[in-house]
Amino acid sequence: MSTGEELIALVVAPGTGVPPGSGGLAALVADEWAQTGPAAEILARAGRLEADRHPRWVWWAASTDAPGLVRARTRPRRCWDLAEVHRLLHGGWEAGPAVVWAEAHGIPTAPPPPPSEDLFAFAGEEPRLADDVLVRPDGHLRPDAVTGAWLTTPERLVAWGRAALVVAERQRAELSGEGPRALATAHAESAAAVLCVELERDGLPIDRARAEQLIAASAGPRPATEEEAAAARRERDRLVLRHVPCRESTDLRNPAQVRELLAAVGVDVPTTRKWVLDPYRDTHPVVDALLRWRKAERVSSTYGYRWLDTAVGPDDRLRGRWTACDGAGGRMTAENGLHNLPVDLRPAVAAAPGWAFVRADLGQVEPRVLAVVSGDAAFAEATRADDLYAPVASRLGVERPVAKVAVLAAMYGQRSGAAGEALEGLERAYPVAMAHLDRAYAAGVRGADLRTFGGRLIRTGRFLADRPLGSDPALDAARGRFARNAIIQGAAAELFKAWVATVRAGTAALGAEIVLCLHDELLLHVPEEHAAEAAEQVDRSLGAAAHWWSGGAPVRFVSDTSVIHRWSEAKE
């Protein structure tokens, strides 16, 4: 890879304990040299190389090869994650070494069964390979290498590392065809994958006592037995069902039965989703009771005492598995409630004594991203305002709420009612931006693939569901809406990860930990004496990341950044 960078593949044998000193093998592999040995020694060497030379680390996936380095408190500055770059290039979620290798070499991702001249041979029987041969005669990786079972000797780890360097070279060549922005996106996606390992290591600080109080306020006292838990559940149900005599046997956890209950009191709704039921709160008291029950039930069943006991560690940190890409538009995701913690529990997210949070939330990011990716000069001008919807409303001659509905409807596909009327004005005022969305919609309807601004492949054809194009207009329209939204959400995710990578690098010297990435929101845990400086760095990082991500487009991005001590102190 002729980039002027030093590339070093890091390979850790499966089953190797990640804390230094716990045994196992690892290898460092570069073009001209390789070193293997006990994992603790190799990780220590990697830490020295990071401090002295800042190479670009290459690995098959940060989730499997980077934890040892990260848990040894080494902060890799630059890396190339083969799995994340594969997802960028080819879309979807599957990015195991077998698929990544095959796509990089232009061979079918599913190897054909080997031919056999023995009529009595079992179907799918593998030809025997020499013990130290990594690549099969058909060009695929040997299966036991993909599973990790083969990676048991220093020589094999070196071969695996050299294979990683080969794939990185081929991926870079393919990305070069998409332009320099795609290469920059690959760097940011790879950095996000390492950040996911750090997020899982550090966890989100939780005030356990406050969490107990909040759970009790919603779900009742901690039950001592299963019988007490069942009694509390029946009492929550009773507070709803008391409003509908003769229907006490309704299962509130069964949407069909809930719809029947509501229909019996004159509330006929297609679904029982919150946004559908909200307008009916004053129609009958059971609706308000049902919505309040939902909140309490969610806390009790999903974020209750069992969640607190299992997901929050003895160090009062909430941990879960993080992923850098959701397999669709490219958003980061997390488990154990890290991405969908109820608002009622946010007061329990609290900085440790002597520390503070720096919370930053990108403002109106998706319409601002639309201004960049479409190249609409008039829409870009609107982004100069703190509140983008105000100049849009002025240009359309409508109230701000109507302008907001129109912009969101353009990206999310709503065409009826007030949104449809406002859209007509939006199409006249910002034809370039609207045409960009319309082209994406048309591509989705056709089942055609398209790429985001940063180069991620969006595969709309996978939603064909084995039905020919045009055979199901509703499915065609759904693909169109998905495509229109994915190119904006995907680009926004790329900007967000570029910003986060810049923040991570810029605040390292302040001792800051990034502890939460929630769509467009960032939460840092910082020593209190450095909090103000970290907040300034977060805002500077947004300006820098947005400038290079957008190619210097005249579009302004804004962040609501504040220093707080509990997540609930942030303005919504």
Is the model more confident about 461 or about 152?
A: 152
Residue 554 scores a pLDDT above 50 = yes
Residue 516 scores a pLDDT above 90 = yes
Residue 210, token pair as written in the block: 């406050």
Confidence of residue 96 (pLDDT cuts 50, 70, 90): very high
Centre a 10 Å sphere on the Cβ of residue 121 and count the other Cβ atoms it contains. Answer: 11
Residue 78 scores a pLDDT above 80 = yes
> How long a stretch of residues is the chain?
572
Please report the DSSP string for 337-402 in residue order.
Answer: TTTT--GGGGGGBBPPTTEEEEEEEEESHHHHHHHHHHT-HHHHHHTTSSSTHHHHHHHHTS-HHH
Strand 521-527 to strand 513-518: parallel, antiparallel, or no bridges (unpaired)?
A: antiparallel
Confidence of residue 173 (pLDDT cuts 50, 70, 90): very high
Residue 254 scores a pLDDT above 90 = no
Bridge partners (DSSP) listed for residue 526: 356
Across the range 210-215, mean pLDDT stands at 94
Residue 119 scores a pLDDT above 80 = no
Tell me what pLDDT residue 464 has: 60
* Equal fold, 208-309 vs 366-491: no
Phi, psi of 486 (to 5 degrees): -65, -35
Centre a 10 Å sphere on the Cβ of residue 101 and count the other Cβ atoms it contains. Answer: 26
Across the range 205-215, mean pLDDT stands at 95
CA angle centred on 322, ends 28 and 571, rounded to 5°: 130
Residue 519, token pair as written in the block: 């769509």
Residue 317 scores a pLDDT above 90 = yes
Centre a 10 Å sphere on the Cβ of residue 470 and count the other Cβ atoms it contains. Answer: 11
**CA distance linking residue 492 with residue 388, whole number of Å:** 16
Confidence of residue 167 (pLDDT cuts 50, 70, 90): very high
- Measured CA to CA in angstroms, residue 131 lies from 11, 113, 151, 164, 383 at distances of 19, 20, 11, 19, 61
Q: Do residues 134 and 163 lie in contact, with contact meaning Cβ atoms separated by under 8 Å?
A: yes
Q: Which residue has the tokens 């795609």?
A: 182
R_g of the chain, CA atoms, integer Å: 27
Is the model more confident about 121 or about 57?
A: 57
Based on the number of CB atoms within 10 Å of its own CB, is 241 exposed (0-12), middle (13-18) or buried (19 or more)? buried
Confidence of residue 196 (pLDDT cuts 50, 70, 90): very high
- Lowest-pLDDT choice from 58-67, 241-250, 481-490, 545-554: 241-250
Element (H, E) at 522: strand 521-527
Residue 117 scores a pLDDT above 50 = no
- Lowest-pLDDT choice from 193-207, 241-255, 302-316, 439-453: 241-255
Residue 112 scores a pLDDT above 50 = yes
Q: Could you report the per-residue pLDDT of 319-347, keeping only the tens digit for each? A: 999 999 987 788 999 999 899 898 889 99
The chain-wide mean pLDDT, for the chain, equals 89
- Lowest-pLDDT choice from 228-237, 352-361, 502-511, 528-537: 228-237
Strand 322-323 to strand 333-334: parallel, antiparallel, or no bridges (unpaired)?
A: antiparallel
User: In this prediction, what percent of the chain has a pLDDT beyond 70?
Assistant: 92
Q: Do residues 311 and 319 lie in contact, with contact meaning Cβ atoms separated by under 8 Å?
A: yes
What is the four-CA torsion angle of 203, 208, 213, 219, rounded to 10 degrees?
A: 60
Tell me what pLDDT residue 470 has: 72
Architecture field, domain 208-309: Up-down Bundle (1.20)
426's torsion region: left (phi>0), alpha (psi -120 to 50) or beta? alpha
Tell me what pLDDT residue 228 has: 82
Based on the number of CB atoms within 10 Å of its own CB, is 451 exposed (0-12), middle (13-18) or buried (19 or more)? middle
Q: Could you report the per-residue pLDDT of 30-42, keeping only the tens digit for each? A: 999 999 999 999 9
From 47, 376, 69, 39, select the one nearest 197 (Cα to Cα).
69
Query: What residues does each domain of the chain span?
Result: 7-113+128-177, 208-309, 318-365+494-569, 366-491
User: In this prediction, what percent of the chain has a pLDDT beyond 90?
Assistant: 63
Residue 505, token pair as written in the block: 């690098």
Q: Do residues 39 and 23 lie in contact, with contact meaning Cβ atoms separated by under 8 Å?
A: yes
Residue 161, token pair as written in the block: 């590392």
Residue 364, token pair as written in the block: 């109106």
**CA distance linking residue 478 with residue 472, whole number of Å:** 10
Phi, psi of 521 (to 5 degrees): -120, 140
pTM of the predicted structure, to 2 decimals:
0.88
Tell me what pLDDT residue 279 has: 82
Q: Do residues 114 and 127 lie in contact, with contact meaning Cβ atoms separated by under 8 Å?
A: yes
Supply the DSSP symbol for 22: S
CATH 3.40.47.10 for domain 366-491, yes or no, is no
**CA distance linking residue 535 with residue 533, whole number of Å:** 5
Q: Which residue has the tokens 């991620």?
A: 456
Tell me what pLDDT residue 233 has: 83
**CA distance linking residue 470 with residue 467, whole number of Å:** 8
Q: Do residues 86 and 95 lie in contact, with contact meaning Cβ atoms separated by under 8 Å?
A: yes
The CATH code of the domain at 318-365+494-569 is 3.30.70.370
Tell me what pLDDT residue 413 has: 67
Tell me what pLDDT residue 221 has: 87
